[in-house]
Amino acid sequence: MTTATQASDLRFFTSTDGDLAYRDAGAGDLVVLVHPGWVDHRFFDDQIPALVSAGHRVIAADVRGFGFSANADGPFRWADDLGALLRHLDAGPAVLVGACMGAAVATDTALEYPELVRAVVVSGAGTSAFEYSDPWTVERGAESARLLGAGDVAGWVEAFAKNVSGPHRTVDQVDAEAVRRMREMATHTLGKHTLGEKDWRVPLADPWSRVPEIDVPVLAVHGALDAADGIEMAERLVRGVRNGRSVTVEDTGHFPSLEKPEVFNEILLDFLRSL
């Protein structure tokens, strides 16, 4: 795996509510990478060089409140932030690639700013109306809330790391470097926040009903060992659009781009070549 990027590699977009961090590399057709919850743009450190080498410009953004981006001080929407960044850069239409929470950011943006989106790639989720029913996922959410409520940061980070392994393995059965990276990024983001602070994010109303509006190609990349609801949300998305398909990466969980970057990169590059 590649060495994580440093803060000095970042650029900042001054929004109406603080600076939003992003990495901008390469030249060519634009690909925008949006990370899962609690981590940041470094989640895609194994994808950026491959995409740049293949002749793409890559923007890897830190979502508001995560990584090196400012926390919110007032209401905001994911799609508005990403749309404003792309307009600021005079960039797009872009292929949006998102994992888990990042998948939700990508689909929100495709619905609200279709003129900025050329295609969408999701992994581990579908829209921003998350639907969790798998007992393992429900228990992880309850465990995380319990630990945060008790102020147990170390315990919360360890619970968060279980998202890498998924329900069919233990954390010890996953590549140690992948787990270390996730722990490091999550610890950094959690340190930006205080217990009980207000969540200013304004959700997109009923995005599932609007999925048929997405008329660009959509690819879902599943980890075969992911929890069932992570796979089903992404499958529901590709079933609901005009041009959707999915592919499964064996022996990997919720984050195939992290666990099997070479396989994920080839799938992504094949998709990009098809556009």
Report the pLDDT value the prediction gives residue 28, as an integer from 0 to 100: 97
Cα distances from 76 to residues 18, 24, 256, in angstroms, run 11, 23, 29
Contact assessment for residue 41 and residue 69, using Cβ atoms and an 8 Å cutoff: no
Return the beta strands (E) in the chain as ranges. Answer: 11-15, 18-25, 29-34, 56-61, 94-99, 117-123, 218-223, 244-249
Report the pLDDT value the prediction gives residue 68, as an integer from 0 to 100: 98
CA 207/CA 127 separation, integer angstroms: 6
CA 200/CA 213 separation, integer angstroms: 27
Report the pLDDT value the prediction gives residue 9, as an integer from 0 to 100: 81
Q: Which domains does the chain have, with CATH numbers?
A: 7-131+200-274 (3.40.50.1820)
CA 93/CA 86 separation, integer angstroms: 9
CA 202/CA 72 separation, integer angstroms: 11
Report the pLDDT value the prediction gives residue 195, as an integer from 0 to 100: 86
CA 163/CA 226 separation, integer angstroms: 9
CA 83/CA 112 separation, integer angstroms: 9
Contact assessment for residue 76 and residue 66, using Cβ atoms and an 8 Å cutoff: no
Per-residue pLDDT of the chain (275 residues), as tens digits, is 333 445 558 999 999 999 999 999 999 999 999 999 999 999 999 999 999 999 999 999 999 999 999 999 999 999 999 999 999 999 989 999 999 999 999 999 999 999 999 999 999 999 999 999 999 999 999 999 999 999 999 999 999 999 999 999 999 999 999 999 999 999 999 999 998 899 999 999 999 999 999 999 999 999 999 999 999 999 999 999 999 999 999 999 999 999 999 999 999 999 999 99
Torsion, Cα of 32, 37, 41, 47 (10° steps): -70
Report the pLDDT value the prediction gives residue 4, as an integer from 0 to 100: 44
CB atoms within 10 A of CB 243: 12
Contact assessment for residue 33 and residue 21, using Cβ atoms and an 8 Å cutoff: no
| Neighbouring-strand partners of residue 220 | 122, 246
Report the pLDDT value the prediction gives residue 196, as an integer from 0 to 100: 87
Report the pLDDT value the prediction gives residue 3, as an integer from 0 to 100: 38
CA 23/CA 103 separation, integer angstroms: 18
Contact assessment for residue 168 and residue 253, using Cβ atoms and an 8 Å cutoff: yes
Report the pLDDT value the prediction gives residue 5, as an integer from 0 to 100: 47
Q: Which residues contact 96 (CB under 8 A, 6 or more apart)?
A: 32, 34, 82, 105, 106, 109, 110, 117, 119, 120, 121
Return the structure tokens found at 20: 């939003």
To 5 degrees, how large is the angle CA 44–CA 50–CA 105? 35
